Structure 1
Amino acid sequence: MGLRETKKERTREALAAAAMALFTERGYEATTVEDIAAAAEVSPRTFFRYYPAKEDVVSEIFHSGGFDGIVDARPPDEPVIATLRSATFTVLQSCADSPAPALAVLRMVTSRPELSTRLSDAQRARTAALTASVIARLGPDHDPLAARLITSWTLATLDAVLLHWETSDGRLDLLEIGKRAFDQLEPALHCVLGTSCVLGT
């Protein structure tokens, strides 16, 4: 990455960090683009070079875990279900380590209808990127539909775990919720891939 690209990435990260701090402190509604720009020590015009609107900052923060990037960083010979489990718990551990900002983002997502469209678009992009990573790991002998199914189910499970945690105001053990959820999901993933198919009744 060149110097110019590095500077741009740092500015984007500074804007996202400033937005997250202000959203946590003041709330989403009370935070303006001007507030975010001032906290990041840039102009509002610079803000709009990186984000079309305030909603887009929330979308980027919500998906900043880079699930597909985490998957790509795992050993290439690791079984794909183990990879998905590891990536899921990497995201959950990050939220558990910084519960206040994680809960603040989740509350914004669940309480602001105008964020739904932005997050739906980002979710489709996230699912497509992860599906491509899973297809590459499985190789040409596997049905791409299987990759799409296990990708969609894994991301849906992650979202369900996070929202369940948010409804408890963070009082429940996030990693324990994740373990319970993935333990129930994993047999279905194996069944789709044909590695085993022992489902509970």
Structure 2
Amino acid sequence: MTGTDLRAAQARRTRTAIRAAALTLTKERGYAAMTVDDVAALAGVSRRTVFNHFSSKADLLVLGPEAPEPQALEAFVNGTGTLLEDLGALLASGAEAVESERGWLLSFPEIVRDNPEVERAIHERLRTVALSLIDAAGRRLGTAPDDPRTRAVVALAMGIQRSSVDLWSGRAHPWEQGGPEPSADAEAPTVRNECPEVRLAEAIHVMTRAIADVVAQPQTGGRPDSAPGGPPTDPPR
């Protein structure tokens, strides 16, 4: 490993330790009683180090993938594979950094429900991810941010990411639980899927392959190379 690789690995370990400390203290005391100073002490770092990795107390509890790194975005923009293949590679590029968070994802649904500050931090993370994808998709396609094709790529990416995290964590589909989030009721345990345990990167590739398979299926009840009521269409690129 190069010096840069070693520093990046150390930064990931530090970030993981800080987040684990925050989640542990939140589980023990509740979000309001969890302090950044106590998180720093438990993680064995300084308060300044905590804020080098996280923007706020609420950000400590925002789990899941972050916006892709610049080099991964450039690889997608200049990719030579199909758009779906390169999109899967882009989304998988940051998967390893959140692999340790699997066990926490189903632990704190009530934190989001009961703390608007955390909910806002989650929405800001999603906004940051979406903006990076809008820029990358537009550059690859040569389209404007509000072009339907740009929007389609971003919607596809966000859908793949959400479904992959569900598959990876064992979380059931939201509609299997009667609401948008897993139940926090101790008497109504979260329904988990029956898929074998996979790493997040593999879950992303599973979902992209599934989408490719579905798109490639021939149309039933009509010509596979034509749209309903219209002329034959070109295959997707």
Tell me if TM exceeds 0.5: yes
Q: TM-score, normalised by structure 2?
A: 0.56
Q: In structure 1, how many angstroms separate the alpha carbons of the residues matched to 2:144 and 2:56?
A: 43
Give the counterpart letter for 1:63 in structure 2: P
Give the counterpart letter for 1:173 in structure 2: V
Q: 1:16 to 1:71 in 2, by over 3 A?
A: same
1:81 aligns with 2:79: no
Aligned ranges 1:129-140 → 2 under 5 Å: 129-140=132-143
CA deviations over 1:62-83 (Å, ceiling 9, x no partner): 3346266523234714243221
**Local SS of the residue matching 2:78:** coil
Aligned ranges 1:180-191 → 2 under 5 Å: 180-186=206-212
Shifted more, 177-186 versus 82-91: the winner is: 177-186
Give the counterpart letter for 1:41 in structure 2: V
1:117 Cα shift? 2.4
| Structure having the larger proportion of residues in helix | 1
1:28 pairs with one of 26, 29, 35: 26
* CA RMSD across the alignment: 4.1
Give the counterpart letter for 1:103 in structure 2: R
Contact 1:28–1:108 (8 Å) recurs in 2 = no
Match of 2:235 in 1: 196
Give the counterpart letter for 1:66 in structure 2: P
Shifted more, 64-73 versus 155-164: the winner is: 64-73
Q: In structure 2, how many angstroms separate the alpha carbons of the residues matched to 1:195 and 1:89?
A: 29
2:46 pairs with one of 42, 45, 55: 42
Match of 1:70 in 2: 72
Q: 1:108 to 1:144 in 2, by over 3 A?
A: farther
Q: In structure 1, how many angstroms separate the alpha carbons of the residues matched to 2:83 and 2:75?
A: 12
Give the counterpart letter for 1:162 in structure 2: V
1:173 pairs with one of 179, 198, 204: 198
Q: TM-score, normalised by structure 1?
A: 0.64
Contact 1:33–1:54 (8 Å) recurs in 2 = yes
**Local SS of the residue matching 1:112:** helix
Match of 2:184 in 1: none
**Structure 2: runs of 5 or more not aligned:** 1-7, 29-33, 172-191, 217-232
- Rg (Cα) greater in structure: 2
Q: In structure 2, how many angstroms separate the alpha carbons of the residues matched to 1:90 and 1:36?
A: 28
CA deviations over 1:16-61 (Å, ceiling 9, x no partner): 333223246x353335312222234324x775687553221233x6
Contact 2:160–2:207 (8 Å) recurs in 1 = yes
Q: In structure 2, how many angstroms separate the alpha carbons of the residues matched to 1:68 and 1:151?
A: 17
Q: In structure 1, how many angstroms separate the alpha carbons of the residues matched to 2:25 and 2:134?
A: 34
1:135 Cα shift? 0.7
1:129 Cα shift? 1.1
**Structure 1: runs of 5 or more not aligned:** 1-8
